Amino acid sequence: MLIITLNWVYIFITCFITGHAILSALSLVFGEKIKWGLLHIELSGFAFVTAYAGYFSLFHGVGAAANVVLILICLLLLFFERAYYIKKAGALPGFLGIRLRSCTASPLRLLWLIPFILIFLFILILSCYGSFHSDSGLYHAQSIRWIEEYGVIRGLGLLQNRFGYNSAFFSVSALYSFAFLGQSLHGVNGYMAELVSLYAFYGIKKSLFDRSFGRLSNFAELAPLFYMVLGGIELISPTTDPILLYLFFAIVILWIREAEGDDRTIVYTLLCIITVFLVSVKLSVGVLVLLVIQPAVSLIREKRVKEIIVSISSGVILLLPYFIRNVLISGYLIYPFPGIDLFDLPWKIPYESARHDADEITTWARYVRDASRIDEKVWEWAPSWWQGQTVHDRCFSLVFIIGAVAGLVWCIISLIRQILSREKRRLTVRMLFLESVLIAGSLFWFLSAPLIRYGYLYLLLLPLLTAGCIYNSGRTAGTAGRILSCIIPALLIVMMLLPIGSIFYKDIVYMENNRSCQYAVFQKDYPVSPVKSREYCGSVFYFPEEPGTPVWYAAFPSVLYEENLDYIEPMGDTIKDGFRIREQNAALQRGH
């Protein structure tokens, strides 16, 4: 736990320094002097550092050299912003003194430290010796190691198709893994879980002290705390789901807080830039980019050309390394979406393989498990989808369905009221837009790849925000309306808490049964599976004894099936030069 805590401190510092510099520049462009919050700064820094790792990977392995350059960048930014940091350092003793006096004057405030500490320890423990997801053994760990060792390899997706599932998260994981020190750490998910969960809990605590609990932002702040339990046991695993969820939870919390407060276009613009960046983490959130409509309309109306150009450029800069890596790894701009077929490259994954891969993802998420059934209608595969879920998953699916229907009804009623009303309520308009985007995103998730693990973003946020909208709308209604506005949110939250309570108990039992003194200092390393080896292209390649099973991190480089090596050939003398389909196989492909 000590090593991971130090790792998190390093992540926090590098993201804060880079994030603060970026927001200072953004404020300068918009001509607005803003006191940015901690979460705004950390999210901006994380997006920058992730893109930086992606760019670095295009030229070199992401390891010691990448961290040295990052530290030099941070030192340079510290120098340029030295006045800010000197001022903050000077004010720190006074700030701590005020906090200390506040806690001693009111013991109740001191008691609030207990849940903060418990949340921190819960996430830290599971980040150090939780349970690995099997996908990490299939390709996450190997993808990260390829980046650590080589950066990017042309045609890597030909070794196994899952390497084509490129994510910017793998690049930043390689940057912060410190594998060059002996063990490849995997603590980025845990760091983001700590940051967003503690921030959300602080918001709830503050509302309770201000006697304003029940605001819309409080409902959004429940989402990361709920997911802390649901996904906590796999925080140790470098999967893309937790990082995506926590980042978007943070965006939604900050979005609603801004709508409740100053409602500044610059803040919405920043949050939209970060939302665009999330596409490079996981492509499935693409629909949520619709959020850009709100600040875009404001900027266009005000004819703020400079701000529009900077915003678009920022999004392009953040996404560019992701798309370049996609092309180099798989030959496609987006994989596995062969419909966007722009390049004819020697290392390109065959169209048929890409198409089959996309179909498998969709049918697997539908619990059909048969790619030949890809063309089935919703009512044909929906029964299999429902039957394939666990009891806990069905609870969340049911809450999601109720929340989506109730949210849609609320949107329609609120829209009619806004049209008929002379006075437009700004917060209602903002929530109408946000709720509509989430409903659109949830429909895309359900119709494309409705695996529950992929959909927790909507399974949690949509019912919670619907509950918050109904609760707050009912405050100005009559007696019957106020009663109904309390019953529906309470029902939704209780239905969510039932499976969460059961999973929380299992998490505690797991921690008790798997604790070890060694984890007080170190993080649990990747598992090791029995493998066989074969010399290929001047290197020793590994493959599992049981084909298609996880190979994890240590057996590198590896493939899941030995015959994959017979299908491809090197494009040069070493594996650094990349891979392509063997000439005879390519000829068969062309003939076919």
Which letter does DSSP use for residue 424 in this model? -
pLDDT of residue 479: 66
The answer to whether the CB of 488 falls within 8 A of the CB of 413 is no
Mean pLDDT, residues 537-561 taken together:
92
Mean pLDDT, residues 385-398 taken together:
90
pLDDT of residue 159: 92
pLDDT of residue 11: 97
Q: In this predicted model, what pLDDT tens digit does every residue of 399-417 receive, in sequence order?
A: 999 999 999 998 998 888 8
The tokens describing 135, both together, are 């996908």
pLDDT of residue 458: 92
Q: In this predicted model, what pLDDT tens digit does every residue of 345-390 receive, in sequence order?
A: 999 999 888 999 989 999 999 998 888 888 889 999 999 999 988 8
pLDDT of residue 517: 80
Rounded to whole angstroms, the Cα distance separating 192 from 227 reads: 12
Amino acid occupying residue 254: L
* Residue 255 burial (10 A CB sphere; 0-12, 13-18, 19+): buried
| DSSP-assigned beta bridge partners for residue 532 | 543
| Contacts with 336 (C-beta within 8 Å, 6 or more apart), sequence order | 161, 164, 165, 330, 354, 355, 357, 358, 361
Query: Does residue 478 surpass a pLDDT of 70?
Result: no
Query: Does residue 580 surpass a pLDDT of 60?
Result: yes
pLDDT of residue 590: 40
pLDDT of residue 65: 96
Rounded to whole angstroms, the Cα distance separating 559 from 241 reads: 24
pLDDT of residue 168: 96
| Residue carrying structure tokens 């069905």 | 394
The answer to whether the CB of 148 falls within 8 A of the CB of 184 is yes
Q: In this predicted model, what pLDDT tens digit does every residue of 563-573 receive, in sequence order?
A: 989 889 888 88
Mean pLDDT, residues 508-523 taken together:
85
Query: Does residue 586 surpass a pLDDT of 60?
Result: no
End-to-end distance of the chain based on CA atoms, in angstroms?
Answer: 55
pLDDT of residue 482: 74
- Please report, to the nearest 10 degrees, the dihedral formed by the alpha carbons of residues 189, 130, 393, 364 taken in order: 70
Mean pLDDT, residues 134-157 taken together:
95
pLDDT of residue 589: 45
| Three-class DSSP labels, 346-360 | CCCCCHHHHHHHHHH
For 7-20, b/e burial (b = at least 16 CB within 10 A) is: bbebbbebbbbbbb
Q: Give SS3 for 281.
A: coil
**Count of all residues that appear for the chain in the document:** 592
pLDDT of residue 95: 65
Query: What is the band of 338 on the pLDDT scale with cuts at 50, 70, 90?
Result: confident
Q: In this predicted model, what pLDDT tens digit does every residue of 284-307 receive, in sequence order?
A: 888 999 999 999 999 999 989 999
Amino acid occupying residue 581: I
Mean pLDDT, residues 29-57 taken together:
94
Q: In this predicted model, what pLDDT tens digit does every residue of 71-122 receive, in sequence order?
A: 999 999 999 998 888 888 887 777 667 666 666 666 666 778 889 999 999 9
Rounded to whole angstroms, the Cα distance separating 50 from 319 reads: 10
| Residue carrying structure tokens 């030995």 | 562
Share above pLDDT 90 across residues of the chain, in percent, rounded to a whole number: 59
The tokens describing 104, both together, are 């001693």
Query: What is the band of 34 on the pLDDT scale with cuts at 50, 70, 90?
Result: confident
This prediction has a pTM of 0.94
| Residue carrying structure tokens 């009912």 | 474
Rounded to whole angstroms, the Cα distance separating 264 from 299 reads: 11
Q: In this predicted model, what pLDDT tens digit does every residue of 218-256 receive, in sequence order?
A: 999 999 999 999 988 999 999 999 999 999 999 999 999
Mean pLDDT, residues 438-450 taken together:
91
Q: Give SS3 for 423.
A: coil
| DSSP-assigned beta bridge partners for residue 544 | 531
The tokens describing 61, both together, are 């392995």
pLDDT of residue 110: 73
Query: Does residue 575 surpass a pLDDT of 70?
Result: yes
Query: Does residue 588 surpass a pLDDT of 50?
Result: no
Residue among 300, 326, 325 nearest 311 (CA):
300
Query: Does residue 279 surpass a pLDDT of 50?
Result: yes
Residue among 324, 350, 347, 341 nearest 154 (CA):
347
Q: Give SS3 for 368.
A: coil
Query: What is the band of 587 on the pLDDT scale with cuts at 50, 70, 90?
Result: very low
For 441-453, b/e burial (b = at least 16 CB within 10 A) is: bbebbbeebbbbe
| Residue carrying structure tokens 């419909």 | 339
Mean pLDDT, residues 112-133 taken together:
91
pLDDT of residue 104: 66
Mean pLDDT, residues 212-216 taken together:
85
Angstrom CA distances, 45 to 14, 223, 239, stand at 7, 23, 20
Mean pLDDT, residues 436-465 taken together:
91
The tokens describing 290, both together, are 């619709």
CA 489 to chain centre: 27
Mean pLDDT, residues 518-522 taken together:
85
Query: Does residue 391 surpass a pLDDT of 50?
Result: yes
Rounded to whole angstroms, the Cα distance separating 542 from 548 reads: 12
Rounded to whole angstroms, the Cα distance separating 490 from 467 reads: 8
Query: Does residue 147 surpass a pLDDT of 90?
Result: yes
Angstrom CA distances, 118 to 194, 198, 204, 500, stand at 11, 10, 16, 17
Angstrom CA distances, 140 to 4, 21, 133, 183, 543, stand at 19, 31, 10, 16, 16
pLDDT of residue 591: 38
The answer to whether the CB of 140 falls within 8 A of the CB of 237 is yes
Mean pLDDT of the chain: 89
Query: Does residue 459 surpass a pLDDT of 80?
Result: yes
